[in-house]
Amino acid sequence: MAAGEMRYWGWGEDERAPSENAHLLEWLGERLGGIGPYVAPADLSDFSEPKVRLSGKRLRQLSAIVGKDGLSTGFADRLRHAAGKGYPDLVRMRAGGKVPMPDAVLYPDNAEQVAGLLRYCSAKEIAVVPFGGGTSVVGGIEPLRGSHEAVVTLDTGRLRSVSSVDGVARLARLGAGLRGPEVEYALARHGLTLGHFPQSFEYSTVGGWVATRSAGQASSGYGRIDDLVRGVQLVSPAGTLGLDARPASAAGPDLRELVLGSEGTFGVITEVEVELAARPEETRYEAFVFPSFETGAAAFRRLAQEGVQPDITRLSDEDETEFFLAAAGLEGARRSVLARYLKARGAPVESAALAVLGWEGPAGTTQGRRAQAVAAMKGFGAVSIGTGPGRAWARGRFEGPYLRDDLMGRGVMVETLETATTWSNAPVLYAAVREALGEQAPVVGCHISHVYPTGCCLYFTFLALQDQEDPVGQWEKVKRSACEAIVGAGGTITHHHGIGADHRRYLKHEDGRLGISMLRGARAKADPDGIMNPGKLL
């Protein structure tokens, strides 16, 4: 079943939401000090509809570019484009009332219409927010108007063509508006895969992945989207940048790397040419337990530096492992069995770190790659607990955000953030962020989600009872504290969520004054009137 439109107040669709997890609720209730009953989010009628700040003439002129059915000022359309899926977004959308919305939503059919829209909006000083799947968790698609009179959201949902699949060079040209399942469906009949599976896979788009430098769950194997993009078309107010696919080049600075991560502030990505891999004929997802997060991390470093890392490499710290055991309903007798099994093999469950490793590939290859990985992990006390828990992880791999909706409905603040650093600095960064979060959230877990030869991504989840008076203020406080810990301890402010509005103030710690000035210099040539996604990134 193809995914439809997401719920405006939360993730995904009602009919796809998994049922609540009673084990986890009970366990969390104990840790957080009582969880309330589920409260339904605001109804459509609970929102007030903001005035459309575009004159009838402007609307007619915009319509003339995209056609009548390419422009909407309808309330439902504006609401659906009002916010991403970050925690503060969902707090506001669950509450209803006054929510900022774009003045209109535009649905161009092709790159020429995008170019026409941007020229028009540039001339009339209308801010433009590019919108792919609407899954940003960092305020990347907030309808901010900046210094402009009005703001429109440009939805890439109609840019859905697959204009070429080259089986020899293993390249495909994909429309920016294609969602994950559509991409994989189109490539499957060529025996190919993009191998890009972010948790947002079912709803996020090719253009969004590139604009935010997305990483997927299997990116330790297939590569991040940065590694997979070979060509790109960016339509900006000043013109179009068309970069053809080339395997490698020494022809000056790499402009693809300016478009990657540009988050709609340089223009609209309309088409992307990506590198593909052979579609796997077999997969194996297997869980392991390490005696500690520290030893597991050392083993993961070994995997990456020997070049034998699985396609999926995930290692939970002791606290996140505890969370998963609770969610799996592992307590009492069942837990004792597991504890005895692990203890017999040298991994005491009292301080266990759960790992999920996944291999995908041609028939007959995963067994050999698994053997290489197991050999590299020798001496770190890894104990396999089989493919059952690995398959369970794979089944639920896109469902995390539904759990968040359920918990938010019960008055729980639940949020995630990620960073990356070198292997040598990872313990320092881990301790700093954990401490910052722990001061304000009773439940904090972390996992290594991606490994590289020089370092890894640390992905944190934290939960606390919601401050009912000021839930967004509560979030801002803990978020600021965590971000300051990250930049203070030498981590990148984001490994794959992006900058958006939320991380904008921290970019200077990485790029410096000159770096930001250089990016602004480049952007000014593409968007001289500053209409593109104001208030984000730079």
Q: Give residues 265-304 in contact with a copy of itself (rule: CB under 8 A).
A: 266, 275, 277-278, 301
Find tokens 């916010």 and name the residue: 83
HSE-CB of 264 using CA atoms within 13 angstroms:
35
Q: How far apart are CA 194 and CA 172, in angstroms?
A: 9
Closer CB to a copy of itself, residue 456 or residue 532?
456
Interface pick for a copy of itself out of 187, 258, 385, 436 (rule CB under 8 A): 258
Closer CB to a copy of itself, residue 123 or residue 375?
375
- Least distance CB 252 / a copy of itself (angstroms): 5
Q: Does 250 bind a copy of itself (CB under 8 A)?
A: yes
Interface pick for a copy of itself out of 113, 136, 153, 212 (rule CB under 8 A): 212
List the interface residues with a copy of itself, window 170-189 (CB under 8 A): 170-171
Q: Does 22 bind a copy of itself (CB under 8 A)?
A: no
Closer CB to a copy of itself, residue 49 or residue 294?
294
Closer CB to a copy of itself, residue 7 or residue 496?
496
353 in Cβ contact with 325 (< 8 Å): no
291: left (phi over 0), alpha (psi -120 to 50) or beta: alpha
Site string (84-123) toward a copy of itself, x via CB under 8 A: ----------------------------------------
164 in Cβ contact with 251 (< 8 Å): no
**Tokens standing for residue 115:** 């170019």
Interface pick for a copy of itself out of 4, 33, 36, 242 (rule CB under 8 A): 242
Q: How far apart are CA 119 and CA 136, in angstroms?
A: 26
Q: How far apart are CA 195 and CA 7, in angstroms?
A: 27
Closer CB to a copy of itself, residue 30 or residue 282?
282
Q: How far apart are CA 212 and CA 230, in angstroms?
A: 16
Which residue, among 378, 375, 175, has the nearest Cα to 273 in the 3D structure?
A: 175
Q: Does 333 bind a copy of itself (CB under 8 A)?
A: no
Site string (397-436) toward a copy of itself, x via CB under 8 A: -----------------------xxxxxx-----------
Number of residues binding to a copy of itself, judged by CB under 8 A: 87
Q: Does 160 bind a copy of itself (CB under 8 A)?
A: no
- Least distance CB 286 / a copy of itself (angstroms): 21
Count Cβ atoms within 10 A of the Cβ of residue 447 and give its class: 0-12 exposed, 13-18 middle, 19 or more buried.
buried
List the interface residues with a copy of itself, window 368-387 (CB under 8 A): none
Sign of the CA dihedral with 524 first, then 227, 128, and 238 last: positive
Angle at 276 (CA atoms; ends 275, 279), nearest 5 degrees: 170
Interface pick for a copy of itself out of 37, 56, 97, 252 (rule CB under 8 A): 252
Q: Of the listed pieces 58-66, 384-392, 408-416, 523-531, which binds a copy of itself according to CB under 8 A?
A: 523-531
Q: Does 495 bind a copy of itself (CB under 8 A)?
A: yes
List the interface residues with a copy of itself, window 31-90 (CB under 8 A): none
List the interface residues with a copy of itself, window 449-478 (CB under 8 A): 450, 452-457
Q: Which helix (H) or strand (E) holds 228?
A: helix 225-228
Closer CB to a copy of itself, residue 60 or residue 525?
525
Q: Does 520 bind a copy of itself (CB under 8 A)?
A: yes
Angle between helices 22-32 and 318-327 (to 10 degrees): 130
**Tokens standing for residue 28:** 């969390």
Q: How far apart are CA 171 and CA 164, in angstroms?
A: 8
3-state secondary structure 357-419: EEEEECCCCHHHHHHHHHHHCCCCCCEEEEHHHHHHHHHCCCCHHHHHHHHHHCCEEEEEEEE
- Least distance CB 523 / a copy of itself (angstroms): 8
Closer CB to a copy of itself, residue 363 or residue 514?
514
